[in-house]
Structure 1
Amino acid sequence: MTATLIPPVHAATDKPAHRDSNVLRWLGAYTASMVGDNVYYLALSWAAVQAGTPSQAGLVMAVGAVPRALLMLGGGVVADRFGPRRVVIGSDAVRCAAVLTVAALLFAASPGLWLLALLAVLFGTVDAVFMPAVGALPARVTGRDQLARVQGMRGLAIRFANVVGAPLGGLGVALGGAAAAFGLAGLLIAVSVPLLISVRMRDLPMDLPTDVEVGGEAGPHPMGAAQDTACRATPWQDLRDGLRYIRGHRVLAPLLVAIALGDLGFVGPLNVGLTLLAEQRGWGASGMGWVLSGFGAGAGVAALLLTVRGRLPHAGRVAAASILAGSVAIGALAYAPSLVAAVGTALLVGLLAGLSGALCGALLQTQADPAYLGRVSSVAGIVSLGFAPLSMPLSAAAIGWWGTGPVFVTSATVCGLGGVVVLCSGPLRRAKLPR
């Protein structure tokens, strides 16, 4: 491999991340891609409903999650073997081409559900590679001391995409149907590709190129022999090596357990549980929208706080306290006496969950060896996207049996166990973000 050598990351960067043009180009690419994703999912659901029955549309929406969950671990291996920048650019290019192809076919004809199902499977398969690479990319863009700020910026981008994506998708459907919405999604994803190409990557320890160019001449890097040995390992060996690394890490292992418990306890109540709660209380769709807005606003404030401050002291302890307090707020949401109280409680849930999530993400980025970041991100992703959604049908069934209160309290207890794990793990509890 031939690459231009960029000086390795130092203890601190010259500029804070929110003023670094290189980081801002990455943020622009990430935001465009996330907005495109939101438009794509709206277009897919609309096209599926128009082409088939509601149950068939639900099946189309679900089939994309299967390859994403099954292949996510392999995607982490791909990101680490080939580099997250290359993988993200290639993945976005494939996603863009697939969505634009379907848009063109829908303009020309009505292929039916099979085309939409094929697109969903392809999109989910590419996502299995794309998402671990996205998780590994921030450490290549900025210094370790700026990763907490980058997590805050990433959170703001996600909130922006959630707010803007649905109206844009609806506008596309209103103007030209599903084909126009798919076309808009493809164009938004396409915007990210040149931005990503323009982002400069940093060589990190244990992640240096085999060959470098200095003054236009290529030559072997001193660490090339070590990398050659690593490159001879099979993907299966890389996967096993990554899982062993996580299992033996004093901070990452309990951190991933805490993230898993938090997601399992959080996803059910804040998705299907909130819908059923709003129905029982008579808040209606508008009331549920206000509660969700409160959650989004709280999460946005947490992301903005980290973006501005860049670092919070005693990150492990603050994350544990935020998880525990947030779990209490989740349980209290089911007993809110009025819609106003529910919105305020949701605001608190969003603030605490956003803060703990960003801190856990920053600790994951700073504690993991850069050579394993793709695999570490894939394990975190498979928990959030593979296991946590399973709690939604279980939550719905449990609410039907026992009511919203007990189920919300049970979910809050599961979420709170994540904070207990952080407190019981000395290395994680004492973990700090780099200055």
Structure 2
Amino acid sequence: MDTTAQPTVPWGRVASLVGGQAAVQLGSFALLIAMNWTAVQRGGTGAVTVLMLAATIPRALMLIFGGAFADTLGPRFVLLRTTTARVLLLAAGAVVTATAHQLWPLVVIALVEGVLLGLAGPASGVLLPMFARGDQLARANSMYAMVLRVAPILGAPAGAFLITVGELWVALAAAAVTGAIWLGCLLHVTHGFARPEPEPGVSLVKRSGDGFRLLARHPRLRWMFVASLCLDMAFSWPAEVALPLLVDEKGWGVSAVGVVLAAFSVGALGSSALGAALAHRIPMYVRLVVTGVGLAAGILVMALMPSALSLTVVAAAVGLLSGLNGPAIVTLYQQSAPEERMGAAMSTLSLAGIGTAPISIAVFSSLSLVLGVQTTWLLCGAIAFVSPLAAVLALRHPARAEESVPVTELPVPAAA
């Protein structure tokens, strides 16, 4: 009988982390809807495009440096400061937009918020692997994924409600409050964390390339990056652009778009909840490879569905598989990355997701003009099959990448 003591997971801190994220993500999605609607009112489609670019480009660029900041300064230092700055930004934005009915305040808020979120993203990704290890990390990531699924479902109508009963400043004030809740949770979650020891002669600029150097040196991380990149690349355009076009071509009505997306979200939420309870009992190969094959097949068949009902059913099945596959990708990536370079690793993984959507939309939208919507969608499904293949190749390599640098793992306080 094995009597080796297993590390205790501080589930109280994990719950505080997930709960804080639930609050701040809800406020963020509500604010997104409110800002986009306000931009439409003040400048039409062009204004929304400018706002989206202002929010996404700085965030993607700052992700490169966010990993270096997290590894060099520690997640507590980065998260407390960026979160505080974001709360102050949103509060000031509420004051300004209450009196200024122009587009420029929205663009400034989106730009600065994008920078702050890009710097904070990798530091947030460092926290869960510090609290949970092995199979328990899979459960923790599934809990985190549930938050990300629930936030848009509840945040979108909340944003619409806030903009209906008030103006944009109300949504900004609400987002500032949820940001303050997240800040309070961070104070609890990161209590007792120490800053890593500085590495002589290593600058932040040099460390900003650590994530890409990890991909070059470690095959398992490289193949998991490919798996995430191909899946996000294949899914972004069908979900955001092709679905409304296909529904319009079939004459099913705009309501079908909402129903299909809702079915996907509900399916993903259900399987994320299942993963939070039972992920440690489901083999990684099933969560990663089998679900990846099912996802690719589902994306492929969605383009061929003859009715809105059948498309909705397949979308729900794709959501179910996605709720297991996504946390599995994150978990294996975290388990494979060197602990002292976790921030850099999470920055590149975030780039595979956040940085992929605009590229996917630009590339496949151009191809659809030549090939047609359905054929391009089928091409996306074919690309998605690269993801489970890359996952198989990743599993054939050693589990943990070792770096020849001093280990400066942050101390994790014991559970209260």
Residue matched to 1:220: none
Out of 132, 149, 153, the residue aligned to residue 122 of structure 2 is: 132
What's the CA shift for 1:138? 0.9
Counterparts of 1:403-414 in structure 2, within 5 Å, are 403-414=372-383
- The answer for the alignment partner of 2:408 in structure 1 is none
RMSD: 2.2
Assess if the C-alpha contact under 8 Å between 2:64 and 2:209 holds in 1. Answer: no
In 1, the alpha carbon distance for the partners of 2:265 and 2:360 equals 21
Pairs aligned (count): 397
Asked if 1:169 is matched to 2:138, the reply is no
Matched, 1:254 2:223: yes
Match of 1:309 among 278, 292, 303: 278
Matched, 1:188 2:148: no
- The aligned residue for residue 148 of structure 1 is 138
Q: Output aligned runs, 1:86-105, within 5 Å.
A: 86-105=77-96
Indicate the larger mover: 381-390 or 172-181.
381-390
Shift of 1:74: 0.8
Is the 1:273–1:395 contact (alpha carbons within 8 Å) kept by the matching residues of 2?
A: no
Structure 1 residue 13 displacement after superposition: 3.9
- The match for 1:386 among 355, 378, 386 is 355
Letter in 1 for 2:92: T
Q: Which residue type is aligned with residue 180 of structure 1?
A: V
> CA deviation digits over 1:7-56, x for unaligned, max 9?
xxx973435x7xx2221111111111111110221122122223223312
CA shift, 1:360, in A, is 0.6
Superposed CA offset, 1:331-384 (max 9, x none)? 100111211111110011111222111111111121212211111111111121
Partner of 2:8: 14
2:220 counterpart letter in structure 1:
V
Flag structure 1 segments of 5+ consecutive residues without an equivalent.
1-9, 211-226
Tell me if 1:42 matches 2:33: yes
Native 8 Å contact 1:321 1:419 kept in 2: yes
Alignment match, 1:77: 68
Q: Tell me which amino acid in the other structure corresponds to 1:71.
A: M
Cα deviation for residue 165 of structure 1 reads 0.7
How far apart, CA to CA, are the structure 2 residues paired with 1:184 and 1:278? 35
CA distance in 2, matches of 1:200, 1:125: 22
Percent identity between the two aligned chains:
25
Matches within 5 A, 1:259-298: 259-298=228-267
- Choose the corresponding residue for 1:377, options 343, 346, 368: 346
List 4+ stretches of structure 1 deviating above 6 A: none
Structure 1 contact 334–408 (Cα < 8 Å) conserved: yes
SS in 1 for 2:280: coil
Partners in 1 of 2:396 and 2:106 — Cα distance?
Answer: 47
Which stretches in structure 2 are left out of the alignment for 5+ residues? Answer: 401-416
Q: Deviations over 1:94-151 (max 9, x none)?
A: 11111111111122x2252221111111011111111111111212233444210111
Correspondence for 2:187: 197
Q: Report the residue type matching 1:411 in the other structure.
A: C
Cα offset, 1:243, TM superposition: 2.7
1:104 alignment partner AA: V
Aligned-pair distance for 1:319?
0.9
TM-score normalised to structure 1 length? 0.86
1:64–1:120 contact (8 Å) kept in structure 2: yes
Question: Does 1:344 pair with 2:313?
Answer: yes
Q: Distance in 2 between matches of 1:209 and 1:188?
A: 27
Provide the C-alpha distance between the structure 2 equivalents of 1:37 and 1:161, rounded to a whole number of angstroms.
8
CA distance in 2, matches of 1:45, 1:421: 37
Q: Give me the whole-angstrom Cα distance separating, in 1, the residues matched to 2:134 and 2:376.
A: 40
Pick one of 388, 392, 396 that aligns with 2:365: 396
Question: What is the match of residue 26 of structure 1?
Answer: 17
TM-score, with structure 2 as normaliser: 0.89
